[in-house]
Chains A and B, each alone.
Chain A
Amino acid sequence: MAYDEKVIDHFDNPRNMGSLDKEDDKVGTGIVGAPECGDVMKLQILCDENDRIVDAKFKTFGCGSAIASSSLATEWIKGKRIDEAQEIKNVDIVRELSLPPVKIHCSVLAEDAIKAAIADYRRKRQRSQAEQPEADALRTAGGGS
Chain B
Amino acid sequence: MKLPLYLDYNATTPLDPRVLDAMLPYLTDKFGNAASRNHVYGWEAEEAVERARRQVASVIGADTKEIVFTSGATESDNVAIKGVVEMYGRREGTDRKDHIITQATEHKAVIDTCTYLQQRGWDVTFLPVDRGGSINLEELSQAMTDRTLLVTIMHGNNEIGTLQPIGAIGRLCKQRGILFHTDATQSFGKVPIDVEEMGIDLLSLSAHKIYGPKGIGCLYARRRNPRVRLAIQMHGGGHERNMRSGTLNVPGIVGLGKAAELCQQTMEAESGRLTELRDRLSESIMGQLEDVTLNGHPVDRLPNTVNLSFAYVEGESLMMEMNDVAVSSGSACTSASLEPSFVLRALGVSDDLAHGSIRFSLGRFTTEEEVDYATGRVVSAVRRLREMSPLYEMAKEGVDLSKVDWHAGAG
Q: Are B352 and A29 in contact (CB under 8 A)?
A: no
B-chain residues with CB within 8 Å of residue A36 when the two chains form the complex: 350-352, 355, 406
- The yes or no answer to A31 lying at the interface (CB within 8 A) is yes
Q: Are A34 and B411 in contact (CB under 8 A)?
A: no
A39-B351 Cα distance, complex, nearest whole Å = 11
Judged by DSSP, the binding face of A is mixed
- The yes or no answer to A60 lying at the interface (CB within 8 A) is yes
Q: Are B391 and A17 in contact (CB under 8 A)?
A: no
- The yes or no answer to A126 lying at the interface (CB within 8 A) is no
Residue of A nearest to B410 (CB): A31
A-chain residues with CB within 8 Å of residue B137 when the two chains form the complex: none
Q: Are A62 and B336 in contact (CB under 8 A)?
A: no
CB of B336, distance to nearest CB on chain A (Å): 7
- The yes or no answer to B6 lying at the interface (CB within 8 A) is no
Q: Are B320 and A11 in contact (CB under 8 A)?
A: yes
A59-B396 Cα distance, complex, nearest whole Å = 14
Q: Are A41 and B390 in contact (CB under 8 A)?
A: yes
Chain A interface residue count, CB cutoff 8 Å, equals 32
Residue of A nearest to B338 (CB): A102
B-chain residues with CB within 8 Å of residue A63 when the two chains form the complex: 314, 316-317, 320, 331, 333
Residue of A nearest to B340 (CB): A38
A-chain residues with CB within 8 Å of residue B320 when the two chains form the complex: 3, 8, 11, 63-64
- The yes or no answer to B36 lying at the interface (CB within 8 A) is no
CB of B167, distance to nearest CB on chain A (Å): 37
Residue of B nearest to A116 (CB): B411
Contact with B along A1-25 (1 / 0, CB 8 A): 0010000100100100101000000
- The yes or no answer to A77 lying at the interface (CB within 8 A) is no
Q: Are A30 and B411 in contact (CB under 8 A)?
A: yes
Given contacts A59-B390, A61-B392, 7 further A-B contacts (CB under 8 A): A32-B410, A33-B406, A35-B391, A38-B332, A38-B355, A42-B411, A61-B390
